[in-house]
Amino acid sequence: MASPLDLEEQEQLDELKHFWKRWGDLITWMMIVVLGGYAAWMGWQSYSTKQAAQAAALYDTVERSAIGGDITLLDRSVADIKDKFASTTYAQQAALLAARVYNDKDRKADAKAQLTWVVDKASDEGYQALARLRLASLLIEDKAYDEARKHLTAKTPEAFAPLMADRLGDLAMLQSQSAEAVQHYKNAWKGFEPNAEYRRLVAVKLAALGADPEDKTAVESKK
């Protein structure tokens, strides 16, 4: 004869069987999804780490070739890092570095191509803004003023606003637009930190145009 304890255990076992019969598949699938997600996340972490390490090694090659003046190796390594690791900051840094070297070597078209790639492909807004500044300078040298202005007036991080304004002032001066140049230079001057060395340069430009960044002359003329 079964004891009360045996009957209680049998009831609990029956309840458990009933529970698993009703919810077992759902629980199993939920565990599969959770464990699968965890495995995917771990796999992605491992992949990302490996990608970053490979991109860093390739960027080192880009840097060494730039410093050593091995332009053939620079061409190949920059193309490789952009092709294989385009989404990494290493690729964006490599393109900016290559653009500087190409410009120094009087390969203006290649320099523009590298900067344009950063503008179009970079995920970091800071790198994009830096590329826009450098590209605008090259375009200004080519007298492609309208195209340069598009880059200088594009949306960029606030930290780059004074630099963009300064270059817009230079562009206005080249187009004999003194009043516009003064306004751009004033915007640049106001945007820089008080102790910034670049701010002094902007003040010199304003002085050359007979303008005071703080409009002190205008205030005194009213008194």
Q: With a threshold of 0.75, does the pTM exceed it?
A: no
Q: Which two tokens stand for residue 223?
A: 């008194």
Specify the 3-state DSSP secondary structure of 143.
coil
* pLDDT digit string, tens, across residues 147-195: 999 999 999 999 999 999 999 999 999 999 999 999 999 999 999 998 8
Q: Grade residue 123 by pLDDT with cuts at 50, 70 and 90.
A: confident
User: Mean pLDDT throughout 195-208?
Assistant: 90
Q: What is the pLDDT of residues 30-52, one digit of tens each?
A: 666 565 555 544 554 554 566 67
d(CA 113, CA 16): 68
Give the DSSP per-residue string, 154-186: S---GGGHHHHHHHHHHHHHHTT-HHHHHHHHH
User: What confidence score (pLDDT) does residue 87 get?
Assistant: 85
Residue 220 pLDDT > 50, yes or no?
Answer: no
Query: For the chain, how far is it from start to end, CA to CA, in angstroms?
Result: 115
What are the phi and psi torsion angles at 27 (to 5°)? Answer: -60, -40
The answer to whether 96 and 118 have CB atoms below 8 angstroms apart is: yes
Residue-level pLDDT at 44: 45
What are the structure tokens assigned to 173, written together? 């001066």
Residue 27, pLDDT score: 64
Residues 107-112 have a mean pLDDT of 96
Q: Is the pLDDT of residue 104 over 80?
A: yes
Helices (H), the chain: 4-68, 71-84, 89-104, 108-121, 125-141, 145-152, 161-174, 178-191, 197-208, 216-222
Q: What is the pLDDT of residue 196?
A: 86
Looking at residue 126, what is its pLDDT? 92
Mean pLDDT, rounded, of the chain:
83
- CA separation, residue 70 to residues 27, 66, 110, 157, 210 (Å): 60, 6, 16, 34, 47
